[in-house]
Structure 1
Amino acid sequence: MKITKAIFCIIIGFLGTVTAQTLPNDSWQKTQANGKGTITVLWHDAKPFHYYDEAGKHTGIDHDLMVAMTRFVEAKYKVKLDIQWHKAQTYAEFYNSIKDGTGGIFGAAAFSITPERKKVMRFSPTYMPDIEIIVSHPELPTFNSIGELINSPDFTKYTAVSVKNTTFDKSLVALKNKLAPNLSVKYVTNTHEIVQTINQNPYHFGYIHLPIYALALKNGLRLKRQKLLQIQREGYAVMYPLKSDWGKVIEEFFNSTEFKPLINKVTKQHVGTQVKDLIWDVSAKNNKELALLTKENELQSLRLKKNQLEIEQSKLRLERQAFYQVMLIVGVVIILILGVVLYSRYQIKQRSNQALRDKNTEIKKQRDEIELMHTELKDSISYAQQIQQAMMPHQTRLTQAFPENFVIYRPKEMLSGNFYWLNDRQNLKLLAVADCAGRGVPGAFLTMMGTLMLNHVVRESKRTTPEDALTLMDKLVQRTLTSDAANLAIDISLCCIDYHKKIIKFTGAHSSLFIVNNGRLKQIQGDKHPVGKGLYNAKNPLTMNLIEFEKGDVLYLLTNGFQNQLGGNNGHNKKFMLLRIKDLLVEINSQPLEEQKQRLENELEKWRGQNEQTDDILMLGVQL
C-alpha cells in the first residue's frame, strides 16, 4: 500500500513538472530583451474570482486583476504581453505547475498564503481579506461550538464537502483527525461544486471563502453559516515560482497608486457594493460575528426588496394588459354609442314627419332632443379623445427617454388619425410616428388599432428590429380588416435607437426620417407603400436603414399634415411643402428644442392665416 502511494505521488509530481515545462511562459529578462513575451495564468471555476458570464465570456475579480497587471506592465515598460489562460483540473496541477515553474507562470484564483506554500513558491502582496467560514444546508441546526457539532444526534449522517489539497481540506482533515475520526468527507473539483452540493443535500457542510458565501446569499441560494471554526489568513494573493524573475514587476503593480481603486472597482463590479463592504468591514472589525450578522441581515433585506420589486413589476405588467383589454372594450362601446345615437336621430326624424299637425310643439321637442343628442355625442367624442391621448406616451415618459424633445400634436377635429409611440428598453429605445387613413372617428379607431398592434409586435412577439416589426404589423392589419377596407392603411416611421452601439435602425412605410446636426440635414426615405396593403413579403421586403449617430443629433419624425397645410401670402392657398420644412429645420438647428417647437408653430400659423387646418398634424423632435 505504501509503495502504491509513493508511485502515485511520483506520477503526480512528474505530471506537474511536465505541465510547468509545457505551459507557454517567458522570463521577465527575455520579455524585456525581445520587447514582448508570454505569460500563463492558471485558474479554476470559483465565482466571483473566475467564471463565465451569461454571454459565455471568461471574467471575474482575479481575471480582471491579471488583465490590469499586463496593461500596467505594457504601459510602464513598453513591452507587449500575451496572456494565456490555463484552466487547471486539480489543485495538484496548480501547486506543482507553480512550484516547478521558472518564468512567467502565475496562479490567480483566490489563493491563500500559508507557511507551507511560502517555502516552495512566492506570493504577491495581498489584495483581499482571506476569511474561511463553515456553511451548511439550512435544515442543519446552528452550532455555536465544535462540541455541539460532534455531539449532535445526527452527526453520523453528516458529510463534509471539500477540494483535495486546499486550505479547506487541511482545516477539515485537522478537525477529523483531532475530534471526529469517523466524519465522512466528500471531495469535489472546485468551490462552485462545494456550494451546489451543500445547497442540494440537507446533511452536508464544508468550508468556503466568505465572498463566495456572501454572493450566494445575495443570489438567494439556500446556505446557513455555522458560528464556529472561522479562519482568517493573511489574505488572497497571486502565486508564482520561487525561481521566477517577475517579482519586481509584481511588487510594482500591487504597490502602485492605481491598484487600490482598481481592486475596489472590480470587486464592486463582480459582487456588488453590499458584498464588497461586507468583506472589508468584517475583516477590519474585532467583533467579526456581530459584523457578519449585520451584513447578512442587510443582504437578506436587499434580496427581499428585490423580490418585492419583481412582484410589483409583474403586477404592473398584468395591470397594463388589463388596461389594453379595457381600451378594446371601450372602443366597442364607443361604436355602440355612436350607433345608438345615429339610430335615435333617425327615429326622431320619422316621428317628426308623422306629427306635422302639432308643428310648434313637435319642433320644440325635436330641438330639445337634438340638443341633448349633440351634448351626448360631443361628450362621447370628448371621452374617446381622452382615451386616444391616454394610449400615447405621456410627456413625462417621453422626457425620461429623451430629455430634450418636443411634440406638435394638432388634430384637425377632436379625434386624430395620427399617433406616436414609444418603447423604452434601457439602451434600446423604439420610437414611431404614424398617419392612419382617415380623420376623426375612423382615423382614431385606426390609431388605437395601430398602437395595440405595435405593443403586441414589440412586447409580446419580441420583434425589436423595425423591418421585422412593420412586416408583422402589415400582416396583422390585413388579417384584422376585411377586403372591403382595402383603402385603409398606415404611413409609419419606426426607429430603433441603440445607445450602446451608437446606431439608429430605421424603417419607413411611406414615411421618412430627418436628422439634423451642425446645420446639416440628412433625409432617410422609407419604402413607398404604407403598411396594411399586404405589399411587403419575402420578395418585396421592407428596407432597414442603419445610421450611425453622434451626440447632439436631432431626429424629426412627422406626418404629411404639416407640409400639406394650405395658405401663404396673398391668399394663393399653396401647400407649405416639405422643402420649406427642411430649410426651416436647418435654420433653427442651433436653438433649444422648446424654442424650435415655438418657431415651427409660429411659422405654421403665419402660413395658415385665416384658412382652416387642412389635415391632422403631428411632428416629433428628439435630441440624442
Structure 2
Amino acid sequence: MKFLKWTFVLVLSMITGTLLSQSLSGDNYETAKNNGKGTVTFTYVETPGFVYKDQSGKLTGVCVDIMNDFLQYVRTNHGINLNARFLGNGSSFSAMYNGVKNGKNGVFGLGNITVTEARKNEILFSPPFITNFAILVTHSSVPTLESMSEITQKFNGFTAYTAKGTLNEKRINKLKSDYYPDLEISYVNSSPDVLEKILNDKNSFSYLDLAFYLSAVKERKPLQRHKVGDEGSEEFAYIMPQSSDWQPIIEEFFNANGGYKNTTAYKKILVDHLGLSAVKLLDSAAE
C-alpha cells in the first residue's frame, strides 16, 4: 500500500514538472477577435495583497481583480469571451518571469513585477498599475530616524539584510556608499526571509517592498518604518511575451474613461487587498 502511495506521488510530481517545463502559450488578440472567444494564460508569483490564496485556496489579490476587470472590458468593448487559466505554483519570481519571456502570444505575468529598461528588452509591459514603495524598516525597538545622516549613530553596529539580485539590494549598497561605509551586508534568498531576519534581529535593517511591509503591519509584527528612507520610484505592471499582440488592448483598458486608476473600482480593489494604509501611502506619493 505504501509503495502504491509513493508511486502515485512520484507520478503526480512528474506530471506537474512536465506541465511547468512546457512553454506557456495563449490565444493572441487577432485570433480571439476573429473567433469571438479565446483562452489566455496567467502565470504568477505569490505576493501579499497582490496575488495570494484566500481561505478556500482560490487565487485573489490586486493583480487578479484588475485582470478580471480587464477580461470584462474585453468582453464588453471587443466582443471577446476570454477564458483565463492559471499555470505555475506561484513560488518563484524567476519561474514566472521566464515563463512569460519564453511564452507565446496570450500569456500574462502577475505579481510584484517592476518596470525596468533592461526588462523591456525581453518582455512587454502593460501600463503600471501601482507605484511600489521601498520602505526602510527595522525591529520596532529601534528609535526612528529623523534624517538619513543619523543612520551611523542610531543603526550603529547593525547588519543590513537583503536578497541578491534585487532592486532593494541596490538600495542597500547605495545607502552604504552614501551614509554607512562600514555597513555589514548579509544576503538571504527572498523578501520573506529578509522580513524574518528583521523581526528576529533587533540590530538589523533593510528595505521591504510595499506588499511585504503592509502584510507585516496587518499581522501586527514588531516592525518600525523609517519614513526618511522611503523610496517610491518603481512601478509594478503586468508582463507579456514579445510575441504578444495584447499590449495595445491592455493599454486601451488602462486609459479608457479617464484612466482605470482613477475609478472607484480600482480604489476599492486596493482597499480590499492592501488596506487603507496602502491607499494613504499611494496618495502621499502623488502629492
Band the TM-score falls in, shorter-chain normalisation: 0.7 to 0.9
- 1:121 counterpart residue number: 123
Secondary structure at 2:74 match in 1: helix
Report how far residue 229 of structure 1 moved: 3.5
Unaligned stretches of 5+ in structure 1? 1-17, 286-624
| Per-residue deviation, 1:48 | 0.9
| TM superposition shift of 1:61 | 0.9
Cα contact 1:28–1:104 (8 A) shared by 2: yes
CA offsets per residue over residues 322-372 of structure 1, 9 Å max, x none? xxxxxxxxxxxxxxxxxxxxxxxxxxxxxxxxxxxxxxxxxxxxxxxxxxx
1:376 aligned residue = none
What's the CA shift string for 1:139-195, capped at 9, x where partnerless?
A: 23433455533456742x514133x43322332344457754762323233x44443
User: 1:366-417 CA distances to partner (integer Å, 9 max, x unpaired)?
Assistant: xxxxxxxxxxxxxxxxxxxxxxxxxxxxxxxxxxxxxxxxxxxxxxxxxxxx
1:57 paired residue number:
58
**Alpha-carbon contact 1:112-1:233 (below 8 Å) kept:** no
Counterpart position of 1:252: 252
1:19, 1:165 → 2: CA distance?
24
**AA paired with 1:94?**
M
1:133 and 2:126 matched: no
What does 1:180-191 align with in structure 2 at a 5 Å threshold? 180=181, 183-189=184-190, 191=191
Unaligned runs of 5+ in 2: 1-18
1:65-214 map, 5 Å: 65-85=66-86, 86-150=88-152, 154-155=156-157, 157-162=158-163, 164-175=164-175, 180=181, 183-189=184-190, 191-210=191-210, 212-214=212-214
Q: Which deviations, in whole Å up to 9, do the C-alpha atoms of 1:5-55 show, x marking residues without a partner?
A: xxxxxxxxxxxxx97862242222232234333222232222111122233
Deviation, structure 1 residue 246: 0.6
C-alpha contact 2:25 2:103 (8 A) present in aligned 1: no
Paired with 1:25 and 1:197, the residues of 2 have a C-alpha distance of 40
Quote the residue 1:44 is aligned against.
Answer: 45
Corresponding pairs, count: 264
Is 1:261 the counterpart of 2:264? The answer is yes
**Contact (CA 8 Å) 2:24, 2:103: kept in 1 or not?**
no
| % same residue | 27
Q: CA deviation at 1:225?
A: 0.9
Q: Which has the higher contact order (CA 8 A, sep 6+)?
A: 2
User: Which residue number in structure 2 is paired with residue 242 of structure 1?
Assistant: 242
List per-residue Cα deviations over 1:415-449 (Å, max 9, x = no partner): xxxxxxxxxxxxxxxxxxxxxxxxxxxxxxxxxxx
1:95 and 1:185, CA in 2 relative to 1: closer, same or farther beyond 3 A? Answer: farther
Amino acid at match of 1:210: L
SS at match of 2:256: coil
* Cα distance in 1, alignment partners of residues 170 and 40 from structure 2: 30
Displacement after TM superposition at 1:136 (Å): 1.3
CA distance in 2, matches of 1:171, 1:140: 20
What is the letter of the counterpart of residue 104 of structure 1? G
**Which amino acid in the other structure matches residue 273 of structure 2?**
H
Report the residue type matching 1:98 in the other structure: V
**Measured at CA, do residues 52 and 23 of structure 1 come closer, stay the same or move farther in structure 2, by a change above 3 Å?**
same
Report the AA paired with residue 54 of structure 1: Q
Q: Is the 8 A contact 1:215 1:275 kept in 2?
A: no
TM-score normalised according to structure 1 size:
0.38
Structure 1's 19 and 57: CA in aligned 2 closer, same or farther, altered over 3 A?
closer
> How has the CA–CA distance of structure 1 residues 19 and 218 changed in structure 2, closer, same or farther, with 3 Å as cutoff?
closer
CA offset digits 1:297-321 (Å, max 9, x no partner):
xxxxxxxxxxxxxxxxxxxxxxxxx
Q: 1:223 offset after TM fit, Å?
A: 0.6
Aligned AA (1:75): T
Q: Distance in 2 between matches of 1:40 and 1:79?
A: 15
Question: What secondary structure is seen at the aligned counterpart in 2 of 1:283?
Answer: helix
Secondary structure in structure 1 of the residue aligned to 2:57: coil
Shift of 1:69: 1.4
Q: 2:23 corresponds to which letter in structure 1?
A: T
